[in-house]
């Protein structure tokens, strides 16, 4: 029902007892997410919680490097693969620390696009064969930091993103007397499909066109620094769904790389940027939320095209860098939250007949109820909307009473609900009637903030798999859309992954006295650091879990989410000053006999506890 076997990539499954199981070692020993939640609750950690699985991160890095190693052996490629992790995908300290640890055996490096990311990366760079790729706009301090890292033995590479950066790199390297490793970002003519395809193509905002690349070569030759030019970089998108775009980009880049070697640059590194997609919906198709290739096919396509293109030109094979961030960290995190409340779409029973003095529009609506059947359902649908709109207008002009308005609403939704049921009997359902199930869906209110934890859902209509983590031995009986606790009209999720398609509603179970938990999967990329403070709802609690191959569960790290005082301080409040102001108001209320001194104590205890409390709903 939820397509878990399609998008789970072997990391997630459903047990016979109806609970979602996480297999951090991919198809190996697993543990129930519900069991993990129970352990967190027992330890005092409230929902919502972001779960991180260190073993999944380790598995993703291992799979990426082993797939490239397999392709390199198959096509007799002479260079090495050196992955780098783009820090912007998830800058959390724990993420970088674990990538550095798990990637050490593969000489996995980092890509930094700012001074803060550069400093963070340097603190984790332990292997002299790993690369630190410096992208983004660079000022003198950025360049100095990268050069000093180079002096310490780190393979920091400056990628020239705009023509003006080259002069700064030349100037600072001579001032510090440190020879840089220089790369150049190329604007390819190849433009892939997908959400972020505008980062590639000739009109992309970053990189140099071929003419500017030639100018860069001439300037380096003039400065007697052409031997510093060692890397060619390009980027055609963050989530490339079609393998054809990857193949075409590699071939074009190899042609430019060949040209730079012929110009006299030593080269030796080809950085293919990001693009390895995540199959969020499990369709394995050429869509913005999927991909039509697997990891082995991706690696083989790159290596095969590089071998054929470079061998033809008799060019030595360079080291290959990919900046695969999304594919590494997406599976790493799962957002868990509980359902707080519901809004059911329930229709009241209609009276058998209206009074003799009933408004004629109400009489007309009741006539639609009487004649409605499958063959005239679309006509009745139009009539119902017409009469309802007329009633709304008359109510606004004061010619209908509140009770008449309420009765009209009951009759209208009764008609729409019956039409929705009749569509199941139709051979062909008109487009406008296909939308009825989502119009009639119940609303479940989840204990989370869309804007804090799932900003891509709001910003770019990103699709994430969402499903209950328990009670899956029961057939869900409700069709639901999800609302968060921000009370914002945009704070909802109304597009979901199904088994073979996407849907406007999510099948869920009836709520009982027991807590009902949902999981949002594949949220490790971007969501943790793009979130904002809408309604001053802060970071969620975070728990890191490790599952041994024997099934033993370990809670290795817990990070408390933001308190009310934390988020107030983020938006320039002084929490102590806020409390002083409230205390002053309470004391003034005592002075005017509005409250007693004992009341003041209770009030201040409540506000002080509130300052220390979690920003999300607490039972």
Contacts of 160 (CB under 8 A, 6+ apart): 166, 169, 182, 183, 184, 185, 208, 216
Q: Cα angle vertex 467, ends 445, 414, to 5°?
A: 55
Reply yes or no on whether 487 is catalytic.
yes
Query: Rounded to a whole number, what is the distance in angstroms from the first to the last CA of the chain?
Result: 31
How far is the C-alpha of 112 from the C-alpha of 404, rounded, in Å?
A: 64
Kind of pairing between the strands at 506-508 and 478-483: antiparallel
Residue 259 to residues 232, 236, 293, Cα–Cα distance (Å) = 11, 20, 30
How far is the C-alpha of 606 from the C-alpha of 616, rounded, in Å?
A: 16
3-state secondary structure of 265: coil
Options 134, 380, 487, 489, the catalytic residue: 487
How far is the C-alpha of 33 from the C-alpha of 180, rounded, in Å?
A: 48
How far is the C-alpha of 188 from the C-alpha of 200, rounded, in Å?
A: 6
Burial grade of 386 (CB within 10 A; 0-12, 13-18, 19 or more): middle
Q: Which residues of 311-344 are buried (b: 16+ CB within 10 A; e: fewer)?
A: eeeebebbbbbbbbbbbbbbbbbbbbbbbbebee
Token pair in block for residue 613: 């409390």
Token pair in block for residue 481: 């859309």
Contacts of 259 (CB under 8 A, 6+ apart): none
- 8 membership: H or E segment, kind and range: none
Kind of pairing between the strands at 155-160 and 181-185: parallel
How far is the C-alpha of 191 from the C-alpha of 200, rounded, in Å?
A: 5
Q: Report the catalytic residues.
A: 487
């Amino acid at each position: 029902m939820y397509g878990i076997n399609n998008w789970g990539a072997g990391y997630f499954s459903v047990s016979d007892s109806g609970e979602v199981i996480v297999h951090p070692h991919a198809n190996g020993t697993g543990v129930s997410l519900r069991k993990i939640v129970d352990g967190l609750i027992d330890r005092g950690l409230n929902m919502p919680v972001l779960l991180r699985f260190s073993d999944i991160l380790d598995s993703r890095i291992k799979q990426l490097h082993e797939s490239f190693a397999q392709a390199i052996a198959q096509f007799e490629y002479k260079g090495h693969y050196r992955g780098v992790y783009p820090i912007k995908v998830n800058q959390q300290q724990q993420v970088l620390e674990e990538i550095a640890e798990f990637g050490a055996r593969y000489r996995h490096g980092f890509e930094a696009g700012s001074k803060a990311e550069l400093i963070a990366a340097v603190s984790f760079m332990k292997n002299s064969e790993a690369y630190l790729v410096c992208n983004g706009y660079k000022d003198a301090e950025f360049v100095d930091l990268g050069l000093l890292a180079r002096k310490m033995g780190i393979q920091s590479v400056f990628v020239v993103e705009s023509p003006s950066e080259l002069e700064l790199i030349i100037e600072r390297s001579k001032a510090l007397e440190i020879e840089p490793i220089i790369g150049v970002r190329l604007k390819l003519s190849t433009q892939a499909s997908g959400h972020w395809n505008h980062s590639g193509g000739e009109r992309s905002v970053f990189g140099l066109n071929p003419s500017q690349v030639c100018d860069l070569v001439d300037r380096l030759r003039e400065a007697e620094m052409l031997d510093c030019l060692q890397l060619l970089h390009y980027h055609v998108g963050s989530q490339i769904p079609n393998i054809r775009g990857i193949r075409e980009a590699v071939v074009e880049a190899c042609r430019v790389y060949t040209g730079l070697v012929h110009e006299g640059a030593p080269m030796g590194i080809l950085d293919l940027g990001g693009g390895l997609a995540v199959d969020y919906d499990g369709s394995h198709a050429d869509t913005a939320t999927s991909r039509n290739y697997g990891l082995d096919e991706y690696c083989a396509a790159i290596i095969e095209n590089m071998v054929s293109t470079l061998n033809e030109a008799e060019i030595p094979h360079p080291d290959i860098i990919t900046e695969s961030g999304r594919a590494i960290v997406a599976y790493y995190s799962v957002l868990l939250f509980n359902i707080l409340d519901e809004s059911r779409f329930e229709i009241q029973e209609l009276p058998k007949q209206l009074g003799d003095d009933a408004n004629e529009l109400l009489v007309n609506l009741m006539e639609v109820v009487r004649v409605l059947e499958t063959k005239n359902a679309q006509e009745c649908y139009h009539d119902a909307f017409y009469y309802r709109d007329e009633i709304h207008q008359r109510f606004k002009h004061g010619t209908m009473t509140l009770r008449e308005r309420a009765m009209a609403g009951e009759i209208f939704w009764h008609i729409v609900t019956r039409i929705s049921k009749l569509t199941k009997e139709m051979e062909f359902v008109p487009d406008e009637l296909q939308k009825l199930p989502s119009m009639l869906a119940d609303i479940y209110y989840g204990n989370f903030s869309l804007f804090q934890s799932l900003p891509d859902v709001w910003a770019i209509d990103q699709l994430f798999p969402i499903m209950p983590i328990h009670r899956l031995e029961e057939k869900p009986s409700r069709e639901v859309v999800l609302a968060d606790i921000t009370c914002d009209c945009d704070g909802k999720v109304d597009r979901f992954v199904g088994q073979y398609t996407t849907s406007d509603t999510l099948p869920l179970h009836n709520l009982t006295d027991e807590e009902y938990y949902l999981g949002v999967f594949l949220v490790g990329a971007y969501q943790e650091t793009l979130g904002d403070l809408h309604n001053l709802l802060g970071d969620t609690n975070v728990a890191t879990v490790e599952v041994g191959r024997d099934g033993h569960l370990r809670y290795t790290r817990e990070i408390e989410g933001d308190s009310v005082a934390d988020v107030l301080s983020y938006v320039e409040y002084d929490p102590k000053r806020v409390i002083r102001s409230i205390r002053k108001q309470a004391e003034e209320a005592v002075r005017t006999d509005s409250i007693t001194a004992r009341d003041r104590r209770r009030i201040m205890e409540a506000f002080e506890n509130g300052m220390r409390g979690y920003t999300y709903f607490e039972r």
